[in-house]
Amino acid sequence: MPISETALQPIVRQEQDTRLEPRYRILIYDDDITPYDYVIRILERVFMLSEELADHVAATAQDDGVAIVLIRPRHEAEKLISIAQTAARMDGYPLAFSMEPED
């Protein structure tokens, strides 16, 4: 059975070129309720940080009250923050994130 010409055409998807987008810092804030090991899990699972880096970010937030998690284009930063905060709320924790433009 012959393969049709259309089946051989590549699928072209329009994707945003994020190289020129402004970048934003994703910040995590310390609180007295969210367990430290839960923060580590969120940082590993949502933000894809290694265990060592997640521990460093969590420790910095604990010591300073706030820490930078990642720097990403705006739409990606918004999406990651939404996923992380939704997961925390569903699990009953007030873990908070925000973003600010990278200077």
pLDDT tens-digit series, residues 55-76: 999 999 999 999 999 999 999 9
Q: Where are the domains of the chain?
A: 21-101
21-101 fold: Ribosomal Protein L30; Chain: A, (3.30.1390)
Burial letters for 63-102: b for 16+ Cβ neighbours within 10 Å, e otherwise?
Answer: eeeebebbebbeebbeebbeebbebbeeeebebbbebeee
16 versus 60: which is more confidently predicted? 60
Helix (H) or strand (E) holding 53: helix 51-64
Q: Is the Cβ–Cβ distance between 42 and 88 less than 8 Å?
A: yes
CA atoms within 13 A on the CB side of 52: 0
Task: Give me the mean pLDDT over the 75-79 stretch.
Answer: 97
pTM for the full predicted model: 0.80
